[in-house]
Structure 1
Amino acid sequence: MPTSILGEVGDLPGPAAVRTAQGAALQCPSCGSSHVAQVLGDNGGVSYVCTACGHSWS
């Protein structure tokens, strides 16, 4: 397993903006990028990771 999500980004087909139920694109709170991926959290919750800077949050 890579030590950083940035090691996995090259394998992704392309950036996609995750949209909320209201249709607004999410932005990374760290860098402001809209290149955000939705991922499953440890306990089945939803988390997000910025594919531009690697910041993750839930």
Structure 2
Amino acid sequence: MPASILGEVDRLSEAAAVRERSVPRTLLDCPSCGSSHVAQVLGDNGGISYVCTACGHSWS
């Protein structure tokens, strides 16, 4: 156990950085405005569509 809270913060930060590098990201950006605020919705005929919650653009 670290001697101080700052030592613990450093240890946790290092662990998070290692985990972030090892987890693949599947971020989806809006093709219209570039925002990453995208929701997945059920589309017509059961397909999957996406809608940008920033600008309202939708696509599938």
TM-score norm. by structure 1 comes to: 0.60
More helix by percentage: 2
TM alignment of 1:11-26, pairs within 5 A: 23-26=25-28
Alignment length, in residue pairs?
A: 37
Name structure 2 gaps, 5 residues minimum.
1-23
Question: What residue is the counterpart of 2:46 in the other structure?
Answer: 44
- Please list every run of at least 4 consecutive aligned residues from structure 1 whose deviation after the TM superposition is greater than 3 angstroms: none
Higher relative contact order (CA 8 A, sep 6+): 1
| Local SS of the residue matching 1:37 | strand
AA aligned opposite 1:34: S
| Identical aligned residues as a percent | 84
* Pairwise CA RMSD: 1.1
* 1:9-32 deviation per Cα after TM superposition (whole angstroms, max 9, x unaligned): xxxxxxxxxxxxx63200000000
Name structure 1 gaps, 5 residues minimum.
1-21
Question: What residue is the counterpart of 2:57 in the other structure?
Answer: 55
* 1:25-47 deviation per Cα after TM superposition (whole angstroms, max 9, x unaligned): 00000000000000000100000
AA aligned opposite 1:39: V
